[in-house]
Amino acid sequence: MKLVNADMIWLRLEQELPVAIQLERLAPKLRQIPCVVLSDRPTDEEALAAFAAGARGYCNTHAAAQMLIQVAAVVLQGGLWIGESLMQRLVGATNRLQALPSTGVTEKNETWSRTLTDREEQVARTLARGASNKEIARALGITDRTVKAHVGAILEKLQVRDRLQLSLILNGRG
């Protein structure tokens, strides 16, 4: 089932058909209108297939209304909406990039840390290793809410959009 308005397409996946086939049917529209894929049983692999086929967002069909409003806002502003587990995989992958030779885009220095408090730097470093908010909270002995506040402050101070971009900067790839 799909819901289309002038601004966005919401596609609820049919479980029997691969996501690529379902998005292929919308291919002409995807060039002009962003599409968010809703899945009854979301998986990282299905999300990756959806993004590869042109989707701009991917989430659980049963997400709360407030979450869907956030999804729409991010996608309509040109961003991508991906699930937490896929984001953790991507952030973790940037940490593994440290072992590779530098791309030369940025030198591996830590000028980014000068603008952060000691605690924000601890949160940022833990985040860049691929930890979730709960894991950061547990590791640093603080609450999830405090982690969220620190992450928000870090993103603002370093003028980055999201955790993935932050992780790339901290791991010398941004």
pLDDT per position as a tens digit, 85-114: 887 777 777 666 555 444 443 434 567 878
SS3 of 162, please? coil
Residues sharing a CB contact under 8 Å with residue 30, sequence separation 6 or more, in sequence order: 9, 23, 54, 55
Per-residue pLDDT reduced to its tens digit, 44-59: 889 888 888 888 899 9
